[in-house]
Amino acid sequence: MISGEEEGDIDVYAEGFDAWQAFCDDHVFVLAAGGVVEDERGRLLAIKRLGKWDLPKGKVEKHEAVEVGAVREVQEECGLNQVELVKPVTSTWHTYERKGKQHLKRTDWFLMRASSKEMLTAQSEEDIEEVRWLDEAGVRMMEADTYPSLLPVLRTWRALR
């Protein structure tokens, strides 16, 4: 039986076996973290990777705190030096296949602040083509050309404002 109280929620019930454990056993778990970064004018920091708009994020390194990994990834992908972590925002989950293996990725998102006075530099070795601050019209443009898993992150960010 599958049910959900909120849009996007799925509860799975199974008799005689642990459905969640069976699912996890079939996937490589990946822990990632990223930033929902605002500048002093309330604009959102976005990256364009492989032709799609995205938020800066990446894998948390072994023995690294999730919050530390989130800030590091934002700094590396966007070329920023000063990034202030404000608070947790939400977590997202998605699956993907790479090299013939199924992966289950959890990304923990954090509200952050940075200054637009710092120069932005796209981390090209991570296939990032562009980094830019987006005003509200830019965020709407991003929503039309981003991954479905980011839409709840953007909704949650708007609710915090």
pTM (two decimals):
0.86
The 3-state DSSP class for residue 72 equals helix
Q: What's the pLDDT tens digit per position in 34-88?
A: 999 999 999 999 999 999 999 999 999 999 999 999 999 999 999 999 999 999 9
Domain residue ranges in the chain: 29-160
Separation of alpha carbons 46 and 61, rounded Å: 22
> What CATH class does 29-160 carry?
alpha beta
Tokens of 14: 């199974």
Paired sense of beta strands 28-38 and 101-113, if any: parallel
Residues 6+ apart with CB under 8 A from 88: 108, 109, 110, 111
Within a 13 Å sphere around the CA of 104, how many CA atoms are in the beta-carbon half?
Answer: 10
Q: Which residue has the higher pLDDT, 100 or 73?
A: 73
Q: Does residue 5 have a pLDDT over 80?
A: no
